[in-house]
Amino acid sequence: MSIKDSKTFCTAPWMHLHVINDGRAYPCCMTEIVDELSVGNVKTQSLETIMNSTKMKSMRKSMLGGEPLPDSCARCKGREDAGFSSMRIGMNDNWYSQVQDLVEKTKEDGTIDELRLLYWDIRFSNYCNLSCRTCSPIFSTSWTKDYIRLRAHDDKLETGLINLNDQPQFWEDLDKNISVAQEIHFAGGEPLLMPEHWKLIKFLEDNNRYETKLKYSTNATKLEIKGKNILEVWKKFKNVHLSLSIDGIEDVFQLTRHGGDWNETRKNLIKIRDSSVEYWIHPTISILNILSITELHKELFELDIIPNRILPSESESGYGPDDYFIKRFHINPCVTPDIYSIHNIPEDIKKIAEEKINVYAEKCYKEYGIPKSGWNSLINLMNSQKCNMDVFKRFVDTTKKLDKIRNQNFIAVQPLFKKYF
């Protein structure tokens, strides 16, 4: 068996890095953003130093030694245990062959002699037009005001604009390495609104690097930015993929993705559907929307935004039923922050959600042949831990305060929770 097929091996530590707006670096975006799991900081270290930091070396060493996945990989492991695919599997499928030589030449202590960052995930800033409930000021400038008023958090997060603009060494490093980058993932904040995103696009255009794959995690609320239509820009690139962060329709959308407008976003989704870019819907499923997730799927399915057919771009690469919950409706179950986790939903409400999802999944399967696997995995994950009522009480408390600050009403959107409020 090739090491690529081992359940405790991941290609990411050889060719990828996730850098967030305050400079902290992580093996990938699945690693929880806590100081203990950070592998370095681009504000004080070069990319080369970070890729051979003690933590990165130890990660590679333990993977090559067949040891269990490290703590930083808990989310991939959790997804796989619940029956979902994982970023680890995708990393191995998509990238291993391009770094096999690097893996084989890795030194005994985990050191690699070459910086081959094929896939970048750099969050240049937290600039964002929305303040989604499950997010925080670290990833959204729009959260600052509410965060200060909320004062529900014990920790004191940095607020305001956080970015990597004044880091000449980092930008030099990017400049040196961009020629090997095959894929760049833009996320945020809202990447389409960030000047740094446009700076990199200009660089790619000026250097005729239209082969570089562009990946985005976007809220799809704005496609026209300062007179530029991003759909027109994307036409020039060979490969563009969008992960569309949409958690609900109408009042659920307005509640979860605060600051966005459902009707405008719906129009944008239709424009994206009619463009040539690839995309998947990436709903974050939390306590806020678990009871409404089937309505989101239904609406997008009926609008053909989630097509139930093989697209021309997929006809050669092969598309099977197992791909539905990867390439169409890419479920992102929320487990942090804990107050929004699908684990910490009262058990009686979990039952109602489970029944509703099962009925809908059965209907989709019978009528359209849509597999049930993703729905089942979601239910499995939700039920894999009992609700912690102390955490749930914090959710109630925060929700009441946030409702007041935002002039919103969670109970009007999700009335089944009324008895707990």
Q: For residue 25, what are the β-bridge partners?
A: 19, 40
By CB under 6 A, is residue 290 in contact with ligand SF4?
Answer: no
By CB under 6 A, is residue 12 in contact with ligand SF4?
Answer: yes
Residues 6+ apart with CB under 8 A from 51: 17, 112, 115, 117
By CB under 6 A, is residue 350 in contact with ligand SF4?
Answer: no
By CB under 6 A, is residue 244 in contact with ligand SF4?
Answer: no
Cβ-based nearer residue to ligand SF4, 12 or 361: 12
- Evaluate the CA torsion angle 323, 329, 333, 334 in order and state its sign: positive
We find the least distance from the C-beta atom of residue 106 to ligand SF4, in angstroms, to be 15
By CB under 6 A, is residue 284 in contact with ligand SF4?
Answer: no
Tell me how far apart the alpha carbons of residues 87 and 80 are, in angstroms, rounded to a whole number. Answer: 10
Cβ-based nearer residue to ligand SF4, 73 or 82: 73
We find the least distance from the C-beta atom of residue 312 to ligand SF4, in angstroms, to be 29
We find the least distance from the C-beta atom of residue 3 to ligand SF4, in angstroms, to be 13
How far CA 114 is from CA of 156, 164, 239, 286, in Å, comes to: 38, 24, 26, 41
Q: Which stretch binds ligand SF4 (CB under 6 A): 85-93, 114-122, 226-234, 359-367?
A: 85-93
Compute, in degrees rounded to 10, the torsion defined by CA atoms 303, 305, 310, 311.
120
When computed from its CA atoms, the radius of gyration of the chain, rounded to whole angstroms, is 21
Helix, strand, or coil here: 388? Answer: coil
- Residues 53-72 interacting with ligand SF4 (rule: CB under 6 A): 69, 72
Which among 151, 136, 211, 146 has a CA at the least distance from the CA of 181? 211
CB 12 within 8 Å of CB 88: yes
We find the least distance from the C-beta atom of residue 136 to ligand SF4, in angstroms, to be 20
Tell me how far apart the alpha carbons of residues 87 and 76 are, in angstroms, rounded to a whole number. Answer: 6
Cβ-based nearer residue to ligand SF4, 79 or 406: 79
We find the least distance from the C-beta atom of residue 30 to ligand SF4, in angstroms, to be 4
Cβ-based nearer residue to ligand SF4, 75 or 266: 75
Residues 6+ apart with CB under 8 A from 400: 421
By CB under 6 A, is residue 110 in contact with ligand SF4?
Answer: no
By CB under 6 A, is residue 40 in contact with ligand SF4?
Answer: no
By CB under 6 A, is residue 10 in contact with ligand SF4?
Answer: yes
Amino acid in position 64: L
By CB under 6 A, is residue 28 in contact with ligand SF4?
Answer: yes
By CB under 6 A, is residue 73 in contact with ligand SF4?
Answer: yes
Cβ-based nearer residue to ligand SF4, 60 or 406: 60
Q: How many CB atoms lie within 10 A of CB 156?
A: 7
By CB under 6 A, is residue 300 in contact with ligand SF4?
Answer: no
In this chain, which of 27, 137, 191, 248 binds ligand SF4, going by CB under 6 A? 27
We find the least distance from the C-beta atom of residue 73 to ligand SF4, in angstroms, to be 3
The footprint of ligand SF4 on this chain (CB under 6 A) covers a number of residues equal to 14
We find the least distance from the C-beta atom of residue 26 to ligand SF4, in angstroms, to be 8
In this chain, which of 24, 55, 88, 328 binds ligand SF4, going by CB under 6 A? 88
CB 271 within 8 Å of CB 233: no
Which among 204, 212, 200, 267 has a CA at the least distance from the CA of 240? 212
By CB under 6 A, is residue 15 in contact with ligand SF4?
Answer: no
Residues 6+ apart with CB under 8 A from 256: 132, 133, 134, 247, 248, 284, 286, 288, 289
Amino acid in position 230: I
Cβ-based nearer residue to ligand SF4, 76 or 192: 76
In this chain, which of 47, 91, 192, 193 binds ligand SF4, going by CB under 6 A? 91
CB 353 within 8 Å of CB 292: no
Could you list the residues that contact ligand SF4 (CB under 6 A)?
10, 12, 27-28, 30-31, 69, 72-73, 75-76, 87-88, 91
